[in-house]
């Protein structure tokens, strides 16, 4: 299966999918040292985002989410890529700043809500530079 989206941050990424069932703020919701979701009330608390294609249908931000993403990038605990259901300029700023500091940015893709609903609960995926998301279900 492959779908098209809008490229928000160009690049290629590959990894297992982690589709969040609830919104998540990186500030206070993700441990920047480990890449673990630490928001106690989040359904996926304890899940690891490092190296995964993180699907955020409804991201929620704090103005500090970008700094958490930047810390994750610098520490090698960032998601391989982001697939968003809504644009979140503040979160993406962390990837842009990371690139300016010489780190590999986290590619980001925007998909429509109806497309996100079609993604398999488990599987791996690859973000291509042309804005396509290639999915392999387990």
Per-residue pLDDT tens over the stretch 33-65 = 999 999 999 999 999 999 999 999 887 866 789
* Active-site option among 4, 25, 34, 62: 62
The rounded distance, in Å, linking the Cα atoms of 35 and 3 is 27
The reported pTM is 0.93
CATH number for the domain including 133? 3.50.30.10
| Span of 12-16, 76-80, 130-134 with lowest mean pLDDT | 130-134
Tally the domains of the chain: 1
Task: Give the structural domain span for 71.
Answer: 2-137
Query: Is 62 known to be catalytic?
Result: yes
Q: How many CB atoms lie within 10 A of CB 4?
A: 14
How far is it, in rounded angstroms, from Cα 138 to Cα 106? Answer: 24
């Amino acid at each position: 299966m492959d779908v098209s989206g809008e490229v928000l941050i160009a690049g290629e990424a590959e990894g297992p999918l982690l589709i969040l069932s609830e919104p998540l703020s990186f500030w206070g919701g993700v441990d920047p040292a480990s890449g673990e979701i630490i928001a106690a009330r989040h359904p996926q608390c304890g899940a690891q985002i490092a190296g995964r294609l993180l699907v955020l249908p409804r991201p929620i931000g704090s103005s500090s989410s970008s700094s958490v993403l930047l810390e994750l990038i610098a520490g090698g605990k960032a998601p391989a890529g982001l697939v968003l259901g809504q644009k979140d300029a503040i979160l993406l700023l962390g990837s842009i700043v990371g690139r300016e500091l010489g780190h590999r940015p986290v590619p980001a893709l925007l998909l429509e809500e109806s497309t996100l609903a079609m993604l398999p609960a488990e599987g791996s995926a690859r973000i291509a530079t042309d804005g396509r998301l290639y999915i392999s279900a387990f």
